[in-house]
């Protein structure tokens, strides 16, 4: 089975080596694709050095910061072109535990999209400031009310897609560049009738590096959610 783990990066020089080694220690047959948005901190150079000893490590280098949504879409297209069967999304900052990857893959034998959920059973978040926790939880409630999406953690970024899901989505038509990308991909998958399952995970806030959350990302999510509902009503989801 061809499995690809996609890790988008921007200034993740302090964590990238550790997460790559963690993933390969779980299963050396996994392939990893780093999609780097022109990190000025040397992330790309670290990855290129690691590639010399890891033939299953690949790098997609982009010239400038274009957002997590476009980074993942570029990775998805790469995965489709290389004929992978399953695609894992995971953050570079170790907020997601790579040890959960085999569990996501196991569940993906029964479901088309598996989401590592922070809110499946209560609130499983460690070291987040109260403001950030409230923002995340409210965003999920907001998206569920507006769109009807039956997911408790629609903004989570730890997932496993079966490749048929990604092939069916017009990735060039994905509008979100920030974290609302997660909602958009989940919503489109749901509208298309794919089976989605959430499994509980524990999310630990990053201990090094800087969060990419910004006011622009929040504003994008506010208007993107009702836009998805409108697109569903008019049958323009692709």
The CATH number that applies at residue 190 is 3.90.550.10
228 located within any domain: yes
CA dihedral 148, 154, 159, 162 (to 10 degrees): 20
- Those residues whose C-beta lies under 8 Å from the C-beta of residue 186, and which sit 6 or more positions away, are 113, 115, 149, 151, 154, 196
Q: Look-up: residue for tokens 């991909």? A: 185
- The reported pLDDT for the residue numbered 235 is 83
22 located within any domain: yes
Count how many domains the chain has.
1
Which candidate, 224, 197, 23, 67, places its Cα nearest to that of 142?
Answer: 224
- The reported pLDDT for the residue numbered 213 is 53
Structural domain containing residue 10: 3-233
126 located within any domain: yes
238 located within any domain: no
pLDDT tens digits in sequence order for the chain, 238 residues long: 999 999 999 999 999 999 999 999 999 999 999 999 999 999 999 999 999 999 999 999 999 888 899 999 999 999 999 999 999 999 999 999 999 999 999 999 999 999 999 999 988 888 878 888 888 888 889 999 999 999 999 999 999 999 999 999 999 999 887 778 999 999 999 999 999 999 999 999 866 656 555 566 667 767 788 888 888 888 888 7
Distance CA 12, CA 46 (A): 10
- The reported pLDDT for the residue numbered 15 is 95
78 located within any domain: yes
Q: Give strand pairing partners of 113.
A: 161, 196
16 located within any domain: yes
Task: Kindly state the DSSP code that residue 98 receives in the 8-state scheme.
Answer: G
Neighbours of 21 (CB within 10 A): 12
Task: Tokens for 3, please give them.
Answer: 């499995």
- The reported pLDDT for the residue numbered 59 is 98
């Amino acid at each position: 089975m061809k499995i690809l783990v996609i890790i988008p990066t921007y200034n993740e020089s302090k964590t990238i080596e550790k997460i790559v080694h963690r993933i390969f220690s779980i299963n050396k047959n996994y392939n990893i694709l780093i999609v780097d948005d022109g990190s000025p901190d040397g992330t790309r150079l670290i990855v290129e050095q690691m590639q010399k000893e890891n033939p299953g490590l690949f790098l997609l280098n982009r010239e400038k910061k274009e957002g997590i949504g476009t980074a993942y879409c570029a990775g998805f297209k790469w995965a489709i072109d290389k004929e992978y069967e399953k695609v894992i999304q995971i953050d570079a900052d170790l907020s997601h535990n790579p040890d959960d990857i085999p569990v996501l893959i196991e569940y993906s034998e029964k479901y088309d999209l598996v989401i590592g959920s922070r809110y499946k059973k209560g609130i499983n978040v460690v070291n987040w400031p109260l403001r950030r926790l409230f923002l995340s939880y409210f965003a999920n409630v907001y998206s569920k009310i507006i769109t009807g999406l039956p997911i408790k953690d629609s903004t989570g970024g730890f997932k496993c897609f079966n490749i048929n899901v990604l092939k069916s989505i017009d990735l060039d038509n994905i509008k979100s560049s920030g974290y609302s990308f997660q909602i958009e991909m989940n919503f489109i998958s749901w509208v298309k009738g794919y089976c989605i399952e959430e499994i509980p995970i524990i999310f630990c806030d990053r201990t090094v590096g800087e969060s990419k959350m910004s006011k622009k990302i929040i504003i994008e999510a506010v208007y993107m959610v009702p836009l998805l509902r409108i697109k569903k009503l008019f049958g323009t989801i692709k």
